[in-house]
Amino acid sequence: MIFFIDTAEIDDVKEFYDWGIVDGVTTNPSLIAKSGGNQKEIITKLAEIVDGPISAEVLATDFDGMIKEGSELAKIHQNVVIKVPMTIDGLKATYWFHKNHIRTNVTLVFSANQALLAAKNGASYVSPFIGRLDDIGHTGLELIREIKTIFDNYNFETKILAASIRSTQHVKDVALAGSDVATIPPKLLKQLIKHPLTDIGLEKFLADAKK
C-alpha cells in the first residue's frame, strides 16, 4: 500500500520521509495557506526532499485556467501531479493532461460515479474524501469499496487515493478495503505506531536484560 503524507509543512515531510514509510505528498489550497508559504516554493522544496508523487492543486476553475496553471506546476518537477477538482472543466482538464502525459489527481470526489468519470478520462488518482462524508452522516468507507469494485470490474489503471483520513481506524479500514493509496496527516502517522503493550513489553525486556 502506498502512503502519502497530507501536509504542506516542509519539516513534517522531512521528519516522516526519513522514517521510510512515506511514498509521496498531497497538498491542497487550505494546507498551503496554513503553512503560510507560496505554493511554487513549497512544491519545489517538497520535490527536493521526496522521490515520489507530489500533488499540487490548481486554483483556476475554468478549463483554460486549469491547463495554464497545471502546466506551470508540472514544469517544477517530473514528480508533480496536478490536482484538479471534480467539475466539468476539471474532467475536461483531466483528459487534456492525460493526452499530454501529465499526471492528475482528481480531488473532491464524493460519489462512485464521479470516480468512474475521472477514471474514464485518464486520471492517475481519484481522491474520495472519506472523513468529509462521515462528517455529514454518510459512511466514507463504503465509497472506497464501491470505487474499488468498479475499477476492478473494468481494469482501470487509476489509483484510489483515500483522502480526508481522520483516524487510525480510517487507515486500517481503507487498507482492508483495498485502497491503493492513503494520504495521512502527520499527527496520525505518529499515532499509527503507538501501542501501549509495545511500550510496556519493551520496558520489561530492557529491565529483564539488566538482571
Residues in touch with ligand E4P (CB under 6 A)? 6, 26, 28, 107, 127, 129, 131-132, 163-164, 183
C-alpha radius of gyration, the chain, whole number:
18
- E strand or H helix at 84: strand 80-85
Taking the least distance from each CB to ligand E4P, the nearer of 6 and 9 is 6
Identity of the residue, 96 or 129, whose beta carbon is nearer to ligand E4P in the bound complex: 129
Least Å distance between CB 28 and ligand E4P?
4
Q: Cβ contacts of residue 128 below 8 Å, gap of 6+?
A: 109, 110, 115, 140, 143, 144, 147, 160, 161, 162, 163
In angstroms, the CA 183 to CA 41 distance is: 21
**83 carries an active-site annotation:** yes
Residue of minimal Cβ distance to ligand E4P: 164
The C-alpha cell of 203 is what? 520496558
Q: What is the distance between the alpha carbons of residues 126 and 106, in angstroms, rounded to a whole number?
A: 5
DSSP helix/strand/coil, 120 = helix
CB-nearer residue toward ligand E4P: 121 or 164: 164
Cβ of residue 47: shortest distance to ligand E4P, in angstroms? 17
Q: How far is the CB of 183 from ligand E4P (least distance, A)?
A: 5
CB of 53 to ligand E4P, least distance (A): 11
The residue annotated as part of the active site, out of 75, 83, 92, 211, is 83
Closer of 116 and 130 to ligand E4P (Cβ): 130
Report, as residue numbers or ranges, the catalytic residues. 83
